[in-house]
Each structure stands twice: as structure tokens, then as C-alpha cells.
Structure 1
Amino acid sequence: MSDTPAFPPEEIGAFLRFCAGEWMSLRSEFALGEAEAAGHEAGEGDEWHSSERGELVVTFLEPAAGHGPGGLRVGPRNSPQRELHFSSDGRFSSGAAGTPAEATLLEGEWELWPDGSLELRLQQEGREVRERIWFTKPNLRLRSTVERQGDGSPERASFSSEIRRVSRPAAGS
């Protein structure tokens, strides 16, 4: 029997732990609703699309009182971070790091799919945001986010590819 964790992780606590690390990110964002409102067709200009590189730091948060799946602290390096706290019943809450739990700004639902991807769903102010996170390799993570208006029409979408920073082994090891 091996001590190597399953890949991709098969339960939410293991998935959250697997997310911990420092990630180099390339994110492409598409403002679909804005392009449509401006009368642009794809290829008529790039105001509706942007790409940026960044560094993302993800820290695993141990479960409160020793039970539950735990949580994540997520954000760009040297910037304010958000905390996501997951419960075993498929719910999660999110707020700025360091704020009390009762000051949580967002609440949503999570689902770990059989393909090993984690989907987060938020309903807020007549909009729905769905984010899916999955690993293709232990050190390569992909994320897609789609925001829809209340009538179901797309507003924004993004796609990120993230590579985990790994340290080199010490010389002579």
C-alpha cells in the first residue's frame, strides 16, 4: 500500500490540501456582455479580452474544531487575500482574510465532481458565478469562471492556467 495521495484528489479535504502552494498564473478574461453591448463581434477589437500574468499564493486552513474539510486563503502575492471556508454539507463561505466569520460577504455551494474537478457556485445580486478548478498534473492546475446575468446570458468568463512553484532539491541530495 502506498502513502502517495490519490491523484486527482477524491475528497474535498484532500483537494483543498492539494491546492496549497505558490502558483504562477496566466489568466485570460473575456468581457462577453460588454462586447455584445458595444456591438462588437469577435475579432473586431480586443477591448473585450485581456490576459495577465501573476503569482497566486494558496494556503490550506485547518478545519475549525478539528472537523470538516477546512478552507483556503487565496490571493496574489503581497495583496489582500480572501478566505474560503468549506463545510461538509456542500456549502462554503468567503470573505476578506482576517475578518470574523459573521462578516462573511459571500456564500455558495461546492461540488467535487467524479472527474476530480471542484465546482464553486455563487448567486449574488441576480447573477450566477461558477468556477471550476481541476488538476491535469500534480503541479498544473486549470480554472475556468463564467458569470451569467439573471436572464442566463453570459457576462464575463475567464480561464487560468497555473503552474505550481517547486523548489529545487539541495545540491548533493
Structure 2
Amino acid sequence: MTRFCVLTIGKTHSGKSTFARSLEQMCQNCIVIDQDQQAQFLYDSYSKLIPNNGENTIKYKLTETLVQYAVDHTKFHIVLCNSNLNEFNRNRLIQRFNNSGFHIIIVKFDLPIEILESRMNEARRDTSILRTVQTFKDVLNSQKDYQLKKSVEHAYKEFYVTNEIQVDSVLSELKNLLNG
């Protein structure tokens, strides 16, 4: 059986989590692992363990544990939902899944900044998961220099979403691919 890892890449409020949840509803044989959910869980249940400075090691370890369990003990396709903007870490992740026999599907969300800002103003997301900044606007400002280039050297398939209209067609194509 061919297994896929769908890797979402994009700035804050670009629609990665909404996309991942929609895909999971369409495909019974996939699981979403969303780092924002892990951050919220840690904040709600184990806030004393979250480091005040430096990397949020516990969040990354929790994600790693969930991913490893899904790889080793299930037959699910895995949808990894976080920004994945750091190219070095993203390539390590891709290599890890390739070594585990997964085919990589990359979905890059590169929406105009005006749309992201509008979504931020409308969403009013809980900022409790933020550690190093105060607002999602601060997060977006820290991500402004990231450029999402088309590159398929590590991917079985790559999608490049530059407007909201494209999301449904990408979901439809992935549904067909993942449901085999």
C-alpha cells in the first residue's frame, strides 16, 4: 500500500489547518498532526513544562512522538500541519518520510499578505499558544521574508495555492489520490 505524507507549508492564517481538517474529513484513511493543537494542549494541560525561552522542545517532541506512532502503528496517510517554512527542517522531515516509504505531497499556501491580514482581523484566534511574540500579526511579520518557491525535487506531487479559489480543486485531487 502506498502511503502519503501531505506537508502543508505557509504563513500564519494561510488556511493550512482548515485545509488539513477538510482533507481529513474527505479521506477516512488519513490523520492530521497539527502543531497548533499540540501547543494548545500543552498550554491547557502542562503549561509549567513549556520553556519560557528558546525552542519549544516539548511541543516538537510531542509532534515527533505522534508522527512516529502514526508511521509505525497505523496505515494512515499523514497530513502534517504547521508552517514548515524553515527549508533545512522541512528537508529533514521530507527525508525522514521518504526513508519510511512515504510519498511526499507538498501543498504550499502563498496567499497575498492582504488576505492573511484580513483573516487575522476576522479570526480572533487565541494567542495563548504564542510564546515569543504577542500577536499573530507579530508572527506574520517574522515570516514576511519567507519566499515559497516551486520546487518538486523531493515531492511526489506539489500544489501551489495562490488564491482561495484553488483550495477546492486541490482538495478534490488529493481526495482522489489518497482514497486510491
TM-score normalised by the chain length of structure 1: 0.31
Return the index of the structure with the highest Cα Rg. Answer: 1
Structure with the bigger percentage of helix: 2
Which is strand-richer, 1 or 2? 1
